[in-house]
Homo-oligomer: A and B are copies of this chain.
Amino acid sequence: MDDINFAVLGTGGIGRRTLELSTHREGLTPVAACDRHGIAVDHDGLDVGELLDATEGNIASGDDTDDGDDTDGANVAADGGATAVKQHGEDRGVAASGQARPTETPIDDVVDESDAVDAVLVALPNLEHDFIPRVADRFADAGYEGVLVDVLKRSRVIDMLDERTDRFEEAGITFVCGAGATPGLLTGAAALAAQSFVEVHEVDIWWGVGLRSGYEDNRGTVREDIAHLDGYDVETARDLSDEEIEEIVDDHDGVLEFHDMEHADDVLLERAGICDAEDVTVGGILDVRNDAKPTTTTVSVTGTTFDGERGTNTFELDDVTSMAANVNGPALGYLKAAVRRNRTEDYGVYGPAELMPGF
């Protein structure tokens, strides 16, 4: 496959790590990156080392609000968004890089460069449910032909993207949604594990995240995670003070266990025809005080084979693999798969499971 020029919207946790990871992968050239204050563009390829060094530093929530999409720890880095960057003299964030300039219209500036871009990874904080869909609209309106990839996880956002299918097809956009860890890597693993079966009864996705595994850079997201604890929901969690959150974490000795989370794995597996959304459960354990993962991230797919046996295939990630490795690696993997599709004029909205062998 020919080289892929890609851009990153958002240089928080996901954006930064995607840039770093891309330097380890063949055929990926980052040509643009932006946050809310600046944009760096180099059609010959950004100097990722310089960009990361210049913008590395204190993790500040700054004037950014929490993004509202952090329904768990597993894809939490998606939501670091534009917040986790350096404040460096007068130029904040990306603008601190020698390759960048300040701007007040960063997304439009990337749209302006999109003729030279094959794929865009959307790693923006999802302030509103429809924020990422509306960003996609701007690319479609500008006549962008290429790939858009996000690592969102809220099930309801998928529907908003689906409504835009015709628009994307007209423009020539291949949109891959939920292409991080869960949904993403683990959704794909479930789709593959299902291949032994003719009927899938249950998909159980269970994740572990420890401090070293990526939580430290994304502390603010515990608020959204709390929404999944017994006795809380998104609204009540949003109203908690920092002190109240700290108290809840203390009450749990720093170890928070989640069940039945709103994760798009369910709708993404259903749209691939693998099982009903209601047969998918997502949960996990987040340890905000220890480096080690408190539990092993595992996908279990239970089904019946054509010859009538009921069994469970499993996919396990090594405990040493960080959340960042499991989000950003697959994001770039799905991005590559999407570019291949886009180049054969295969447009529209796809989830990770649809980029796997069919069911």
A residues contacting B by CB (< 8 A) are 1, 17, 20-21, 24-26, 185, 188-189, 192-193, 195-199, 273, 305-307, 309-322, 324-326, 328-330, 332-337, 339-341, 344-346, 352, 355-359
Question: Are A321 and B309 touching (Cβ within 8 A)?
Answer: yes
How many copies the complex holds: the figure is: 2
**A185's contact among B195, B310, B317, by CB below 8 Å, is which?**
B195
**A322's contact among B193, B309, B336, by CB below 8 Å, is which?**
B309
Which of chain B's residues have a CB closer than 8 A to the CB of A336? Answer: 357-359
Question: Are B311 and A314 touching (Cβ within 8 A)?
Answer: no
Give bound CA distance, A305 to B25, whole Å: 12
**A318's contact among B198, B313, B324, by CB below 8 Å, is which?**
B313
Q: Which of A17, A189, A197, A306 lies at the interface centre, i.e. has the most chain B CB atoms within 10 A of its CB?
A: A306
Which of chain B's residues have a CB closer than 8 A to the CB of A310? Answer: 320
Question: Are A196 and B317 touching (Cβ within 8 A)?
Answer: yes
Question: Are B20 and A333 touching (Cβ within 8 A)?
Answer: no
A338 to chain B, nearest CB (A): 9
Which of chain B's residues have a CB closer than 8 A to the CB of A17? Answer: 306
Give bound CA distance, A126 to B239, whole Å: 67
Give bound CA distance, A25 to B200, whole Å: 12
In the complex, 6 of the A-B residue pairs with CB atoms within 8 angstroms, ordered by the A residue number, are A1-B358, A17-B306, A189-B193, A305-B325, A340-B346, A344-B346
Question: Are B311 and A318 touching (Cβ within 8 A)?
Answer: yes
